[in-house]
Amino acid sequence: MKILPAIFMLIIIVSIHPVSAEPWTKSVDANITMTQYSYTDNWAGGEAGAMAWTFFSNSLAEKQINDMINNKNTLKLLFGQTHNQDKDTKKWGKPDKSNDLIDFESVFRFNLKTYVDPFAALRIESQFFDTSNSDNKRLFNPLTFTESFGISRVIIKEEKREWSARFGAGFREFINRDFLDMQTNKKETKTSNDGGLIFVNDFKTPLAEDRILLTSKLTVFQALFYSESDKIKGTPEENYWKTADIEWENIFTASITKYLMVNLYTQLLYDKEIARGGRFKQMLSLGLTYKLL
């Protein structure tokens, strides 16, 4: 975990070179969707009211710092809740979290004008509200830091279409703050880390005569070491960490009018340490959208 700070220090030193006059390329797409229905107290049929809302934003800030360094930053935010009404008492219960995501990544690419370019990247993943334990709710927990460096190639770079790939070494640190031990009733911060090889594929393209925008990201991480491997020796799960982790995310955005859009978000995850099968998440929404930049 000490490699990336040295690389970013090198980036700062190289950045002293004359700064490019090109402005930052910025975009912030934000939308909010809501569904609500209710019934009077004398409604027959056993139905109950409910309300669900979701906020989603996808932001980008990119700049050619100088002739040698390109910096690209992406931020995805997702949060939603569902409120349900008891069908017998008609009382509204406390809201349940339905979506929660904070995902920030910063990538520095060094343009050497060769077939591939070196890169260094930092990714931070978390959530706004950790409700995994109802007796110990925490903000911005857990945290996953991914530091990586290696080689990259921009395969396509157009105004509306972009395709790039990265391959190199990656190091991850997992932090679970104020973890509550149910036996001792004490809180402690649990940390672990692993390292190995990482492959990232980013793709963006318009579809259906530019009416739909597809943003896709595929990440594969193959761990070569794990800090907790000795603790799980002799258990059925002792080799699970050696299986590659896969994350495939797709965002389809279709603008119906200036302020009305349809958004389809899908995420496929495979991490054998969490579940032996793949996990799939899908969110389809129709709601209000606004391009801040």
Mean pLDDT, consecutive 10-residue stretches, the chain (293 aa), reads 56 56 81 78 72 89 89 94 81 87 94 91 94 84 94 92 96 90 81 96 90 94 96 92 96 83 90 92 78 60
pLDDT score at 32: 85
Query: Residue 183 burial by CB count (10 A; 0-12/13-18/19+): exposed, middle or buried?
Result: exposed
Cis ω on the peptide bond leading into residue 18 (within 30° of 0)? Answer: no
For CA atoms 219, 110, 26, 9, the dihedral sign is positive
- Model confidence, pTM: 0.87
The full 3-state SS of 194-256, as one line of letters, equals EEEEEEEEEEEEEECCCCEEEEEEEEEEEEEEECCHHHHCCCCCCCHHHCCEEEEEEEEEEEC
pLDDT score at 183: 75
Query: How far apart are alpha carbons 194 and 272 in whole angstroms?
Result: 15
Q: For the chain, what is the radius of gyration of the CA atoms?
A: 22
pLDDT score at 167: 98
* Residues in contact with 257: Cβ distance below 8 Å, sequence separation at least 6, in sequence order: none
pLDDT score at 16: 54
Query: How far apart are alpha carbons 278 and 281 in whole angstroms?
Result: 10
Phi, psi (rounded to 5 degrees) for 272:
-65, -25
* Residues in contact with 96: Cβ distance below 8 Å, sequence separation at least 6, in sequence order: 81, 82, 83, 84
* Residues in contact with 233: Cβ distance below 8 Å, sequence separation at least 6, in sequence order: none
Q: Which two three-digit tokens encode residue 26?
A: 């910025």
Listed by start position, the domains of the chain span: 3-15+29-38+49-291
For the segment(s) 3-15+29-38+49-291, the CATH number from 2.40.230, 3.30.200, 3.20.20, 1.10.530 is 2.40.230
For CA atoms 106, 111, 116, 118, the dihedral sign is negative
Query: How far apart are alpha carbons 147 and 247 in whole angstroms?
Result: 16
pLDDT score at 121: 94
pLDDT score at 67: 84
